[in-house]
Amino acid sequence: MASSYVPVYLGDEILTQETRDLLSSLPSEKGWLVSQMYQYEGSWHTKAMLQGIVNCQKHFEANDSDIILATIPKSGTTWLKALLFALIHRNKFPVCGNHPLLATNPHPLVPYLEGDYCVSPDVNFFKLPSPRLMQTHLSHHSLPVSIKSSSCKIVYCCRNPKDVFVSLWHFGKKLAPEETTDYPIEKAVEAFCNGKFIGGPFWDHVLEYWYASLENPNKVFFVTYEGLKKHTGDMVKRMAEFLGCGFTEEEEVSKIVKLCSFES
Ligand SMILES: Nc1ncnc2c1ncn2[C@@H]1O[C@H](COP(=O)(O)OS(=O)(=O)O)[C@@H](OP(=O)(O)O)[C@H]1O
């Protein structure tokens, strides 16, 4: 199943001794969709994700030209991956019949920072076409230092939490049926509202990026899934301007919107 949610289920064998020691010091709870989750820097994660986060915080070095897509799971990650990939590489990959997005799911085209770091600290992002586009579900305060200190740009997408919950609920039932059987929807809503789900709490995640975008609008672009749905072309143009690759022709925008639509 293509999703940025998949690495959360990797097994204990990937854990270093350092991460095992860290885990033993963290608050932990039985989670919704996962058997056990751990609270690290205020957010809830599985053991595997924690390994990825620790590696990523230690080893990832951002370039000034990097673009980071940040979301809470189920907020439009896949769609934004496609739109941003098509947008920033439109000179290299003009929209036509052999565009990479017509043959490949957006997830492998845009690496998942802490997800890729789950299995090894030696992730090689240098093979990516420039500018490098990467995705994260990390909270703003948990981002690797170089993302905040460099001139790289962050695009954050927020979605109505009711829809995030419903999306996660249906997805979870398919991905982890054995973890959800003893979890009635009422209990899951309660866990979600209390911030106790992988990547949560919801509002802390959204508000940190919202305030960062107000503080530094040249660094963080804040978009909503609903705004993107309603005014896709306009929002794509605004993202292009923010990323320093503004459009000259109307035609190109609608081609990209169509390429990244469900229909395509
Ligand atoms: N192209 C396009 N256009 C509009 N909407 C899209 C698109 N691709 C994915 N989606 C919807 O995004 C929801 C999944 O969210 P994510 O991509 O963030 O999921 S994940 O975190 O990567 O697992 C999920 O929402 P729900 O349908 O409500 O579950 C997808 O339908």
The chain-wide mean pLDDT, for the chain, equals 91
Ligand 1, atom 6, lies closest to the CA of: 79
The listed range with the strongest mean pLDDT (48-57, 126-135, 172-181) is 48-57
CA distance 38 to 183: 18
Residue listed under structure tokens 């056990």: 36
Query: Which atom of ligand 1 sits closest to the CA of residue 82?
Result: 1
Report the pLDDT value the prediction gives residue 124, as an integer from 0 to 100: 81
Q: From CA 174, how far away is CA 226, in angstroms rounded?
A: 25
Mean pLDDT computed over 90-112: 93
Distance (Å) from CA 67 to ligand 1 centroid: 20
CATH class of 8-260: alpha beta
Supply the pLDDT for residue 190. Answer: 95
Q: What does the alpha-carbon distance between residue 108 and residue 110 come to, in Å, rounded to a whole number? A: 5
Question: Which pTM was predicted?
Answer: 0.95
Ligand 1 mean position, distance from CA 162 (Å) = 14
Pocket of ligand 1 (CB under 6 A): 3-5, 71, 73-79, 163, 167, 260-262
Nearest CA to ligand 1 atom 15: 74
Alpha carbon of 146 to those of 123, 139, 150, 205, 221: distances in Å? 16, 15, 6, 19, 18
Whether ipTM exceeds 0.85 = yes
Active site residue 137: yes
Distance of CA 42 to the CA centre of its chain: 18
The greatest distance separating any two alpha carbons of the chain, rounded to the nearest whole angstrom, comes to 56
Catalytically annotated residue among 89, 99, 107, 137: 137
The mean pLDDT of 87-114, rounded to a whole number, is 93
Cα–Cα distance, 94 to 78 (Å, whole number):
20
